[in-house]
Amino acid sequence: MFAPRREHARFCSPGCRVAWNRDHSRDSAAEDRALEWSIAGMRDVTEQLSVCQPADQAAAFTAVTEAVWWVTIIDARLVRQYTDLYDGALAARAAVQRPVIEGTLAGLRFVRNVMSDQAGWADFIGPPVSPGAGDGVVAAWMWKRVPEPALAPLPAQVQRWELKRYWSYRQWLADRPVGEAFGRAAAFLNLAAARVASAPDTGLLANH
């Protein structure tokens, strides 16, 4: 048993992860391909935000919803299965960048969780207040400030995690362009996935 830093973490150390992989036969090559496919999908969706000119608000909301899903599902998988490599990618960034990266990803997880319970996307994003050149794309839309969520029915640990995500959203997403958060998140997840791909104990060597 261990106290996870994130709710998705499964392993307390690299040795624990490798031992689990060895004891649970997996098709590592297939998993590597699945991660590569996921990263490619995330890259396509987040890059489209900078060129997509939505016909209406519903189209913009759909594009952002898909980007949130891709980023958060890949982030969760990397944390769950490769925590040490994920942390290594984070540690390789400049000290001033680390809280920004972690805060951005936490803020996007907050959006994902609220999105799963509510349909009010208009509460989260809106077009630029003062549209200018290039502001017709989804990436130029702005994250809105939202009220603190009602957390009383949730377990105490979940409340702490969710409240932290909310304040991360307020600090790193609210009043900023949508594309800024996705660009930062996707860039980091690409680096973390590259570490997974190059690590000898994540592929076939982990199972033999």
pLDDT at 208 over 50: no
- Domain count of the fold of the chain: 1
Instruction: State residue 155's pLDDT score.
Output: 81
150 domain residue, yes or no: yes
Coil, strand or helix: which one is 177? strand
Q: Which domain holds residue 178?
A: 26-207
Query: For 51-76, how does the pLDDT look when each residue is reduced to its tens digit (9 = 90+)?
Result: 988 878 888 888 999 999 999 999 99
33 domain residue, yes or no: yes
pLDDT at 26 over 60: no
Instruction: State residue 165's pLDDT score.
Output: 92
Whole-number Å distance between alpha carbons of 208 and 203? 10
16 domain residue, yes or no: no
pLDDT at 161 over 90: no
pLDDT at 205 over 70: no
11 domain residue, yes or no: no
pLDDT at 159 over 90: no
**Exposure string (b/e) for 73-99, b if CB count within 10 Å is 16 or more?**
ebbbbbbbbbbbbbbebbeeeeeeeee
pLDDT at 100 over 90: yes
Write the CB contacts of 29 (distance below 8 Å, at least 6 apart in sequence).
Answer: 203, 204
20 domain residue, yes or no: no
Query: For 108-158, how does the pLDDT look when each residue is reduced to its tens digit (9 = 90+)?
Result: 999 998 876 555 566 788 888 766 645 689 999 999 998 888 887 778 877
128 domain residue, yes or no: yes
Q: Helix H segments across the chain?
A: 14-23, 28-48, 57-81, 83-91, 98-117, 156-172, 178-198
9 domain residue, yes or no: no
The residue assigned the tokens 């989804």 is: 138
Coil, strand or helix: which one is 182? helix
Range 91-107 average pLDDT: 95
180 domain residue, yes or no: yes
* Per-residue tokens: 185: 């998140």
pLDDT at 3 over 70: no
8 Å CB contact between 146 and 123? yes
Whole-number Å distance between alpha carbons of 190 and 207? 25
Top-confidence residue, 205 or 39 = 39
